[in-house]
Structure formats: C-alpha cells, structure tokens
Structure 1
Amino acid sequence: MSSSKSSNGVPKWERWARVMLCALGLILSVYALHVELSKENDPNYRAMCDLAESVSCSKVFTSRWGRGFGLVQLFAEKDSLLNQPNSILGILFYTLQLGLGQMVSVTAAHFLVMASWLSVAGSLYLAAILVLVLGDFCMVCVSTYIINFALMYINLKRRTGLSGKQKKKTR
C-alpha cells in the first residue's frame, strides 16, 4: 500500500511537482543562456523560439533587461561581473529551490517562500517590461513566470503545513 507522504513527511505530489518544475525551469534557463550567448557571438543566429518580429526570445534575452534585470547597469558597467544574464539567476534559483526543497524544516520553508516572492516580483517586473517596453512575447520567459508562480504555491503550502505541525507540537 503506498502512502501519500514520503519518508520525510513531504507529500509525494509536492516532491514530484517541485522536481518537475525545477527541472523545467533549469532547462529553460540553460536554453535562454544558450540563445543569448549564441546571438551575441553570431548576430545571424535564429533561435527556435524566434517565431516572428514580435515573438522573439533572442530579442528579449539580448536586450538591456536580459542582464541584471536591466537594473544593474544603473550602478555598474554593462560588462561588469555583477551584470550577469537573468538566465544565470534562473539557474541559481531553480537549483536552490530543488536543493532546499529536499530539506524539511521551517527555516528552509521560510527561505523557499522568500526566494519565491523575489522570483514572482522579478517575473511581474519582467512581464511588464516585456509588454510595455519591448512589445514582445517571449514563450520561454512566460513559461518561467508560470513556473515561478507554481513554485510559490508549492512553497506556501509547505510553509503552512510545517508551521501548523510546529504549532501543534508546542501545545
């Protein structure tokens, strides 16, 4: 008979969903980095996600906002080590979500939620840039935004569940 919870008390659906979302996020982030670097090295490079003039991921990734959220350039040089592609931040974020998601503690759950809030805020900011400034639709970008919101949901469920268990123990 199979249990709905794994040996560490985390629901199996959560573990499965986290692994799938983080794997997909990592694949999309690595692809975004590949597209950006390929386009920078070869201006004639055409990515699979470049479907039309207004549906172009390479246009987005190579824009000012494709590095450091377009904000790092305000206080550092464009070629500064601080001004990394957003896809590098995505790789770090999804790796962190996957790793910390294996830890079952209230502290890890709080950190996962805080990181998710940052990713959702970044997603909303970049979505606004996408629509209002660039006038573009980036399938890779929108897919990562959806993943970020889904991870937020999972992380909030985890934190709520662990906080509830902790309160029961202190009674």
Structure 2
Amino acid sequence: MCKKITSMNIKRVDRLIITTAIVGVLVSTYALYVEMIAEARPGYKALCDISEYASCSRVLTSQYSKGFGLLPKELKMDVPNCIYGIIFYCLIIFLTTFNHLAWVRLQLLLTLTGLASSFYLAYLLAFVLRDVCVVCISTYFVNGALVRLVYQKNKILSEKNK
C-alpha cells in the first residue's frame, strides 16, 4: 500500500514539475519575443511595459539581458538569457521522466543553480537597473517553485529507497 501511495505521489509531483516548467518555457518564450521585437523596432511598447519604472522591454534589451551580463559580446554563448531559460526548462521536463534518485539529485542541483541565477538577476533588476520586470519576476517564482517540487520528489524517492 505504501509503495502505491508513493508512486502516486511521484506522478503527481512529476505533473506539477512539468506544468511549472512549461509555464517557464512560455514566459521565457514571451520574453525572447519582446527582446527580439524591442531590438528590431526601437520605441516598441510591450504588454508588460506598465510604466517608466516597470518596463520589461527596457530590462530585456539591457546589457544584462545576454549572457547574464557576464560574457563578452564576442563569445557565441552571449545569447539572450531567455534562450538559456528555455533550454533549462526543457531539460527539467526531460529529467522529470526519470525516477532514479541520481537523476533527481542532478535535477535538484540544476534547479538550485536556476534559483541562484534568479537571485543574481533579481539583484541586477532591483539595484542596478532599478526597474520592475513582470516577466522576469515571473521566472523567479517559477524557479522557486521548481526547487520546491524537485526537492519534494527527491524526498519521496529517498524515503522509498530506505
């Protein structure tokens, strides 16, 4: 009976992880769309541009929007952060298909890294750019939720393997 409940719990958590990661893909894709349009058409006003101090298009076209503002522009890895986000969320979805503890721990490490990058980007948003980006903040919440859900899956599998 306990094993059946545990496998049901894992399936439920897997569905929540996948749903949350899909939300991350959608938000990141929208951010990429805004970034590309804003760079191509100066003066573009996105739906997420609420005011002068709450402008996602301003944030998404800043020097920090590519390569986390850390990579030299000459590098081929200096791509929009949104692309890193899309790849990250797709990788999380893929890893969710594995219910082996080692893969879940890798997934936990990745989500913690994603959360750390969210803290870095939130710092830049608040203290360097002094702006509010609804799209960016949404990804921070998605990353926090993913850490919690993957931690929950790790806990379930750890108890199951005892």
**TM-score, normalised relative to structure 1:** 0.87
CA contact (8 A) 1:30 1:87 kept: yes
Aligned to 1:109: 104
Whichever residue aligns with residue 157 of structure 1, its letter is Q
Q: C-alpha displacement at 1:107, in angstroms?
A: 1.4
- Name the SS for the 1:72 alignment partner: coil
Q: C-alpha displacement at 1:64, in angstroms?
A: 1.0
1:64-89 alpha-carbon deviations (Å, 9 max, x no partner): 1111111113xxxx253110100001
CA-atom RMSD in angstroms: 1.5
1:143 corresponds to which of 138, 146, 149: 138
Whichever residue aligns with residue 22 of structure 1, its letter is A
1 CA distance for matches of 2:24 and 2:5? 25
CA contact (8 A) 1:4 1:12 kept: no
CA contact (8 A) 2:114 2:143 kept: yes
- Name the SS for the 2:64 alignment partner: helix
Q: C-alpha displacement at 1:4, in angstroms?
A: 5.7
Alpha carbons of structure 1 residues 4 and 60: separation in structure 2 relative to 1, 3 Å:
farther
Aligned to 1:38: 37
Map residues 4-23 of structure 1 onto 2, 5 A cutoff. Answer: 10-23=9-22
2 CA distance for matches of 1:87 and 1:94? 10
**Structure 2, unaligned stretches of length 5 or more?**
none
Whichever residue aligns with residue 50 of structure 1, its letter is D
Runs of 4+ with deviation above 6 angstroms: none
**Structure 1, unaligned stretches of length 5 or more?**
none
1 CA distance for matches of 2:138 and 2:30? 12
2 CA distance for matches of 1:79 and 1:57? 25
The structure whose RCO (Cα within 8 Å, separation 6+) is larger is 2
**TM-score, normalised relative to structure 2:** 0.92
2 CA distance for matches of 1:19 and 1:91? 13
Aligned to 1:134: 129
Q: How many residues get paired?
A: 159
1 CA distance for matches of 2:27 and 2:76? 23
2:114 corresponds to which of 72, 95, 119: 119
- Name the SS for the 1:51 alignment partner: strand
Quick one: percent identity of the two aligned structures? 36
Whichever residue aligns with residue 19 of structure 2, its letter is M
CA contact (8 A) 2:10 2:156 kept: no
1:97 corresponds to which of 85, 92, 95: 92
Q: C-alpha displacement at 1:41, in angstroms?
A: 0.7
- Name the SS for the 1:37 alignment partner: helix
